[in-house]
Amino acid sequence: MRIVLVGPPGAGKGTQAAFLAKNLDIPHISTGDLFRANISQGTALGVEAKGYMDRGELVPDEVTIGMAQDRMKQDDAANGFLLDGFPRNVAQAEALDAVLKKDDMQLDAVLDLEVPEDEVVKRIAGRRICRNDSAHVFHVEYNAPKTEGVCDVCGGELYQRADDSEETVRTRLEVYHTQTEPIIDYYRAQNLVVTISALGKVDEVTARAMDALKK
Active-site residue list? 13, 88, 127, 161, 172
Using alpha carbons only, what angle is made at residue 177 by residues 38 and 57, rounded to the nearest 5 degrees?
A: 35
Check the annotation: does 127 bind a ligand.
yes
Distance CA 180, CA 58 (A): 16
Distance CA 77, CA 91 (A): 23
How many other C-beta atoms are found inside a 10 Å radius of the C-beta of residue 16?
24
Check the annotation: does 16 bind a ligand.
no
Please give the single-letter amino acid code of residue 204. E
Check the annotation: does 115 bind a ligand.
no
Check the annotation: does 123 bind a ligand.
no
Check the annotation: does 81 bind a ligand.
no
| Cβ 126 vs Cβ 106: under 8 Å | no
Check the annotation: does 7 bind a ligand.
no
Cis peptide before 87 (omega within 30 of 0): yes
Check the annotation: does 170 bind a ligand.
no
Check the annotation: does 58 bind a ligand.
yes
List the binding residues for AMP: 31, 36, 57-59, 85-88, 92, 161, 172
List the binding residues: 10-15, 31, 36, 57-59, 85-88, 92, 127, 137-138, 161, 172, 200
List the binding residues for ATP: 10-15, 127, 137-138, 200
